[in-house]
Structure 1
Amino acid sequence: MEIKLHDIGEGMTEAEVTHFLVKPGDKVAVDQPMVEVQTDKMTAEIPAPRAGVVKELKVEEGNTISIGTTVLLLEAEDAQAETAATVEAVKEEPEVQEHEATEAEVEYTPTSPGRRVKAAPFTRKVARELGVYIEEVEGTGKWGRITVEDVKRHAEGGSSTVADQQETPEAPEVSSAPTLEAKTVPFRGRRKQIAKKMTQSLFTIPHCTHFEEIDVTNLIELRNELKQMDTKISATAFFIKAISIALKEFEVFNAKLDEKEEVIRVEAHHNIGVATDTEDGLIVPVIHQVEKKSLKQIHQELKQLTQKALEGKLTSKELTGGTFTISNVGPLGGSIGATPIINHPEVGLMAFHKTKERPEVYKGEIAIRSMMNISMVFDHRVTDGGTAVAFTNKIQRLIENPNTMMIDLI
């Protein structure tokens, strides 16, 4: 039985094989994950459609394969009846459901809180079944990945690392002079997929960037007033809603160019992606149908998506379908301006930079105002500079006078 890479959708026609969870000769159960693949948007797993034995791995870890490529051969238990069958299956990485805490777990504090754990969902499932805290297990797999064997060894009270099983050698003499060594960093996984996506975008879309500065003093004051009423709304939520309001008037920025059919397709909904910096690289979760949502809804959904992005738990739906992207780099500090790369095949991207207090002429007098720069990048094949400036000015007015858009924000 051939196990192939299935159609992932959203224009993603290939994926990188990042890790095999089985080897030839292994017996697998139905739905047991066998291989992990990585696209520029998500990590996915290919499960076993039948119980059986792994016969052969057809590709190597690190290879980028296209849809329809045979990943491995599986001899099913019902092989005689299925000899001619070819199965294509792919399963997105499921969210890890936390097990309910027992009385013995209430007082437990992990020794490595916050450590990012590299382990497949199936390995996490085994850990939960054995009562092992996955954070406590040291991985012996590639790139420090925790394997099922590591979990079982830990459950039996043994060491999880090869180094722990060996005698500790005598410490060598340490030179007082510091030494520098050259090293290499693997170019694979999400980093490689992001590189391919950015290269495609930059060499396909003629990018043009428009810069503007926005006075966010009134927005900050409004947020402070809302906080006093126990209503916390992030600045990013305001930015997202302002963009959605502007997109109603400038719908060309909520479109995608279909070069094959020679048409510009204006999308029905404002599905706004938010570029998020994670340990594994840049990822863009999407808030769908922003035009129908209140500020509170946008704030809550953004908070949830950001947390899931940091934990690597985003679903396919939460990563796809975007029509416009924003990048709020201001909180990272030190950003005055930038020329971001558009998230192909979208038409535009807006970046919000660091806010600084400085003296400005305000209503005929010098006053200290909170000023923020923005960068508006657009596809010059689809629209022109004048339209981009008008779109940016609309967003500027909304952000500088947030009370004027309260009808849309509530």
Structure 2
Amino acid sequence: MGTHVIKMPDIGEGIAEVELSQWHVKVGDLVVEDQVLADVMTDKAMVDIPSPVHGKVIALGGQPGEVMAVGSVLISIEVEGAGNLKESAAPAPVAAQEPPAAPKVETVAESKPAAAAGPRPAPVCQGPMVAREADERPLASPAVRKHALDLGIQLRLVRGSGPAGRVLHEDLEAYLAQGQSNASAPAAAAYAQRHDEEHIQVIGMRRKIAQRMQDATQRAAHFSYVEEIDVTAIEELRAHLNEKHGASRGKLTLLPFLVRALVVALRDFPQMNARYDDEAQVITRLGAVHVGVATQSDVGLMVPVVRHAEARSLWDSAAEISRLANAARTGKASRDELSGSTITLTSLGALGGIVSTPVLNLPEVAIVGVNKIVERPMVIKGQVVIRKMMNLSSSFDHRVVDGMDAALFIQAIRGLIEQPATLFVE
């Protein structure tokens, strides 16, 4: 038997040290070639570190949250073969998730032929309940997490039956059926005093998100502007286009219409499509409109970028938004897909609330927030009618954008949305 020492690889881009975010193995585990050993966080991305060999883990080189230098010992693996010590850097790291610039990557490593090695780990038996570490965060959508919270279920105790162990709504129901949730406890227990505490270390993606958010709010002079928009006409147009072309071209959401409205409005307000280098005191206005679309994932908020939105049709934008959102949520977006935006669009969909105050995606100077659509009685030409209404809650960098310009910009978007034909008039 021999020992294979894997050193922290050179991630590139001049990075000298990275943060060890999470171990996927522990001492004593059997690992196989290309199995992910750990996640590390750079200033720009979460990166998977795969194993170059088959063997047994005998030592870990650090703890989650620890900053490690490139070239330091990451992990030691016992391998079959000669007894001499072998050293290597880990295989080319795989980008996992890039943190947002102020609010977003994992590509599958190339499969290699299996070399003679120790046994592969046995598959885990599925069931409604599983014991995870107290700080382990299982994969689940925001809706499933809210459902679990409403039911009083600790998500880490639920066995996930979805891809990569993702916890689904059905898994919560199976858990309840087994009588494992707090909901099955005696009614009196719901009123019992609790004195437990949970300490969660802020590391990895969550630490980067926190740092970037804090940096954005400290450096930029945020101000927000809210405008009410009647979306009845554009929703009717969207429904008509989906009925006529949905089967052949794909379904349209409201987002591609908003992207188009941004593109058209920016022609008259180019100062919104800009980046501000506050150290060099230089504002760069861009002709290309690269729209960042804030997307929630299991590891936090990510911002994939729809590049050259000015050159895309509604369906082209819709397809790209869908592709990028799926890549971000599944951790397969590339670094390039998560950087380079010039203005950001953020939406919580049906959970969008009435008003929000989005945080700027530095170094951008504008972010447009979309709130939920509600039906309300409105007075039009002296008549009370039911209309579909929505607020745009947007934020700007007051160092670069004046309040009047911000208001006029959002009102221009309002005019385009309320008269959707103007989106396509050149």
- What is the TM-score of this pair, normalised by structure 1? 0.70
* 8 Å Cα contact 1:42/1:314 also seen in 2: no
- Match of 1:230, SS state, is helix
* 8 Å Cα contact 2:260/2:423 also seen in 1: no
Among 309, 325, 342, which residue is 1:306 paired with? Answer: 325
Structure 1 residue 377 displacement after superposition: 0.6
Structure 1 residue 202 displacement after superposition: 0.5
Among 376, 396, 406, which residue is 1:378 paired with? Answer: 396
Is 1:226 matched up with 2:241? yes
Report the AA paired with residue 204 of structure 1. Answer: R
Structure 1 residue 338 displacement after superposition: 1.5
CA gap 1:225/1:73 in 2 versus in 1, 3 angstroms: closer
Structure 1 residue 32 displacement after superposition: 5.6
Is 1:187 matched up with 2:201? yes
Among 364, 373, 376, which residue is 1:355 paired with? Answer: 373
Match of 1:404 in 2: 422
Structure 1 residue 341 displacement after superposition: 0.9
| Separation in 2, partners of 1:365, 1:52 | 76
CA gap 1:329/1:19 in 2 versus in 1, 3 angstroms: closer
Match of 1:35 in 2: 38
Among 189, 197, 216, which residue is 1:201 paired with? Answer: 216
CA gap 1:182/1:12 in 2 versus in 1, 3 angstroms: farther
- Match of 1:143, SS state, is coil
Structure 1 residue 95 displacement after superposition: 4.0
Match of 1:395 in 2: 413
* 8 Å Cα contact 1:68/1:88 also seen in 2: no
| Separation in 1, partners of 2:23, 2:38 | 4
CA gap 1:368/1:327 in 2 versus in 1, 3 angstroms: same
Is 1:60 matched up with 2:53? no
Structure 1 residue 281 displacement after superposition: 2.5
Match of 1:72 in 2: 74
Match of 2:7 in 1: 3
- Match of 2:136, SS state, is helix
Structure 2, unaligned runs of 5 or more: 97-105, 112-119, 140-184
Structure 1 residue 344 displacement after superposition: 1.6
Q: Cα RMSD (Å) of the superposition?
A: 4.1
Structure 1 residue 269 displacement after superposition: 2.3
Among 245, 260, 277, which residue is 2:296 paired with? Answer: 277
| Separation in 1, partners of 2:388, 2:416 | 16
Structure 1 residue 31 displacement after superposition: 5.8
* 8 Å Cα contact 1:41/1:283 also seen in 2: no
- Match of 1:196, SS state, is helix
Percent of aligned pairs with the same amino acid: 33
- Match of 1:187, SS state, is coil
* 8 Å Cα contact 1:5/1:66 also seen in 2: no
> When the two structures are aligned, how many residues end up with a matched partner?
349
| Separation in 2, partners of 1:382, 1:228 | 43
CA gap 1:144/1:221 in 2 versus in 1, 3 angstroms: closer
CA gap 1:144/1:354 in 2 versus in 1, 3 angstroms: closer
| Separation in 1, partners of 2:130, 2:391 | 45
* 8 Å Cα contact 2:34/2:51 also seen in 1: yes
* 8 Å Cα contact 1:209/1:339 also seen in 2: yes
Report the AA paired with residue 196 of structure 2. Answer: A
| Separation in 1, partners of 2:260, 2:402 | 23
- What is the TM-score of this pair, normalised by structure 2? 0.67
Structure 1 residue 262 displacement after superposition: 2.4
* 8 Å Cα contact 1:325/1:350 also seen in 2: yes
